[in-house]
């Protein structure tokens, strides 16, 4: 019982949570970018009892990206993203020096997480040739297409009312890769399946508009002052009360003068009655 009392007291003292602010209308974001990754060509040789392996023609990108997000309706946002990515595998062992990533997409965003789809235009720069394993010339070539797609999702944490830290990662399908090299078994015509990941920040350039306050309810009509006279209860007719016949009211008759004459005063009786007018006997 005491636990329930303490819980109710604690709940009464906790203020009501504030409503989240409306979603922003325009956001700029950026940060470090990792990927994509493309496996290369690998071979091993054994000389004098020692095995040695080389892996060349691969690509692993590290760079930076910048994107702009515009709110469409509700939680839907359009975004445009640009990135420059370099290959950390040095030449001539790696294919390409890097690539440019231009993406357009649509996503669903909340205050703490988001998910989106994106089309990517990924032209490469630098030579597409590389040195095959245990070879002294750039006899291998890996030519990439320029189109890819990505499905990504991420989380974010607001550090201030408008600045947030973000972490997102996505599955990238494409571009197409056509490799030619000295070894026939190392040649491939493939579609790359790789990834992109980013760690950065976002800033709300144009915050969202708060919804208009609700209209006040109309004031009730003033009540009429109570009457000083008592109110009688309204009679309610019931079957019993309707079946009882009320007695007829008596009929009043006009009074008629009596025909009997009023009797006159009787004369005094004869006898020895003494009156004041008779002399006293002698």
Return per-residue pLDDT of the chain as tens, 282 residues. Answer: 545 544 554 545 445 456 778 899 999 999 999 999 999 988 888 888 888 899 999 999 999 999 999 999 999 999 999 999 999 999 999 999 999 999 999 999 999 999 999 999 999 999 999 999 989 899 999 999 999 999 999 999 999 999 999 999 999 999 999 998 887 666 678 999 999 999 999 999 999 887 777 777 777 767 666 666 666 666 656 665 555 555 555 555 555 555 555 555 555 555 554 555 555 554
Collapsing DSSP to helix, strand or coil, 266 comes out as coil
Predicted local distance difference test score (pLDDT) of residue 9: 46
DSSP type of residue 138: -
Predicted local distance difference test score (pLDDT) of residue 2: 47
Predicted local distance difference test score (pLDDT) of residue 14: 47
What is the four-CA torsion angle of 58, 60, 66, 69, rounded to 10 degrees?
Answer: 80
DSSP type of residue 189: E
Domain segments of the chain as ranges = 22-40+58-206
Q: What is the pTM of this model?
A: 0.68
Contact call for residues 24 and 204 (beta carbons, < 8 A)? yes
What is the four-CA torsion angle of 56, 103, 150, 113, rounded to 10 degrees?
Answer: 120
Q: Is the dihedral of CA 231, 236, 242, 244 positive or negative?
A: negative
> Which residues in 38-48 are b (16+ Cβ under 10 Å) and which e?
bebbebeeeee
**Cα 33 to Cα 148: distance, rounded to the nearest angstrom:** 17
Predicted local distance difference test score (pLDDT) of residue 278: 54
Question: Is residue 120 reached through a cis peptide bond, with omega within 30 degrees of 0 on the bond before it?
Answer: no
End-to-end CA distance of the chain: 126
DSSP type of residue 242: H
Select from 154, 151, 157 the least CA-distant residue to 111: 157
To the question of domain 22-40+58-206 being in CATH 3.40.190.10, the answer is: no
**Cα 128 to Cα 131: distance, rounded to the nearest angstrom:** 11
Burial class, 100, CB count within 10 angstroms (exposed 0-12 / middle 13-18 / buried 19+):
middle
Contact call for residues 231 and 75 (beta carbons, < 8 A)? no
Q: What share of the chain is helix, strand, coil (3-state, %, to 5)?
A: 5, 50, 45
Predicted local distance difference test score (pLDDT) of residue 281: 56
**Cα 41 to Cα 180: distance, rounded to the nearest angstrom:** 11
């Amino acid at each position: 019982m005491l636990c329930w009392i303490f819980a109710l007291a604690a709940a009464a003292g906790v203020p009501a949570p504030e409503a989240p602010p409306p979603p922003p209308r325009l956001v700029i974001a950026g940060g470090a970018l990792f990927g994509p990754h493309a496996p290369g060509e690998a071979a091993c040789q054994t000389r004098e009892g020692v095995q040695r392996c080389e892996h060349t023609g691969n690509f692993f990108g590290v760079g930076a990206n910048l994107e702009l997000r515009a709110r469409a309706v509700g939680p839907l946002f359009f975004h445009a993203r640009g990135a420059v990515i370099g290959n950390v595998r040095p030449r001539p062992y790696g294919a390409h020096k890097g690539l440019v990533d231009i993406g357009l997409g649509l996503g669903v965003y909340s205050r703490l997480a988001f998910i989106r789809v994106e089309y990517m235009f990924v032209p490469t720069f630098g030579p597409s040739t590389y040195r095959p394993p245990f070879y002294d010339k750039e006899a291998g070539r890996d030519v990439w297409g320029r189109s890819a797609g990505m499905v990504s999702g991420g989380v974010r944490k607001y550090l201030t009312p408008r600045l947030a830290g973000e972490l997102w990662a996505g599955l990238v399908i494409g571009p197409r890769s056509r490799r030619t090299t000295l070894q026939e078994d190392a040649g491939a015509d493939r579609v790359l399946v790789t990834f992109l990941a980013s760690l950065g920040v976002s800033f709300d350039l144009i915050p969202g508009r708060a919804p208009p306050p609700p209209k006040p309810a109309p004031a009730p009509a003033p009540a009429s002052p109570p009457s000083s006279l008592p109110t009688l209860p309204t009679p309610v007719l019931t079957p019993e009360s309707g079946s009882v016949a009320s007695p007829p009211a008596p009929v009043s008759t006009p009074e008629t003068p009596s025909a009997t004459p009023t009797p006159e005063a009787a004369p005094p009786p004869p006898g020895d009655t003494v009156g004041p007018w008779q002399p006293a006997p002698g």
